[in-house]
Amino acid sequence: MQKIKTVLFDLDGTLADTAPDLANALNYVLEKHNYTALPYEKIRPVVSHGGMALVTLGFGADHPEFDTFYKELLEHYQNNIANETTLFPGMDELLLALEKENINWGVVTNKPGWLTKPLMEALNLTSRAATIVSGDTLEERKPHPAPLLHACQQAGSKAEECIYVGDAERDIEAGNRAGMLSLVALFGYIADSDVPETWGAHSLITSPAAIIPLIQSLN
């Protein structure tokens, strides 16, 4: 086993709790078009799957104005990208602990760069991250392993020296295909229908704090 040198995170539902702002964006569009706002608990599990999944939840996949709703949701979200978004509890402490141990970290997300960049800036994380790979950085997106391998290269590590942490099955598939250790963030946006135990991850973690002892045991 190679020593772990880099920890890579999915963004929404793993590094940052973005669900409040994305739920607000969906409910803004619903109410704008005279639909009833949805309860936060119904929206939260869908957030990891992106804006189209949110519009589908709110209006249905076949709505004739789907593209309009999608554009409005993204516009509202972009303008309110970090009103209520925070790091998950214990995440800042984890990042500081990694930095103290000279283990660098980065983000690999399917979120497009024009949303990823301002969010990372708002959270004061841009300068601390060794790599930030967005959904449009390459032609491929997760579950393809290419974005993770690109992030590894930017961070100066081999795949086997990296851990990838995510809260969706595509995250674990991407990590495994890239040859990394993959961890499921159970504190993220896991739906009742999800069975993360079957995703093939190296481990399932209930808090960011669980990552440090795991790395220590590997190293």
Q: Tell me: domain 6-17+86-218, CATH 3.30.9.10, correct?
A: no
Bond preceding residue 143 cis, omega within 30 of 0: yes
What are the tens digits of pLDDT across the range 79-91?
A: 999 999 999 999 9
Tokens found for residue 139: 């032609």
Point out the residues that are catalytic. Answer: 10
CA distance 182 to 167: 10
CA distance 89 to 97: 14
User: Are 119 and 11 spatial neighbours (Cβ–Cβ below 8 Å)?
Assistant: yes
pLDDT at 86: 98
pLDDT at residue 132 tops 60: yes
pLDDT, averaged across the chain: 97
pLDDT at 219: 85
Q: Which range among 25-29, 44-48, 105-109, 198-202 shows the weakest confidence by mean pLDDT?
A: 44-48
Query: What three-state secondary structure class fits 9?
Result: strand
pTM above 0.85, yes or no: yes
**Mean pLDDT across the stretch 149-160?**
97
Edge to edge, what strands does the sheet with 6-9 contain? 131-133, 104-108, 6-9, 162-166, 181-185, 203-205
Same fold? 6-17+86-218, 19-79: no
Question: Domain residues of the chain, as ranges?
Answer: 6-17+86-218, 19-79
pLDDT at residue 1 tops 70: no
* SS3 readout for 59-108: HCCCCCCHHHHHHHHHHHHHHCCCCCCEECCCHHHHHHHHHHCCCEEEEE
Residue scoring higher pLDDT (5 or 48): 5
CA distance 23 to 197: 27
Q: Tell me: domain 19-79, CATH 1.20.1530, correct?
A: no
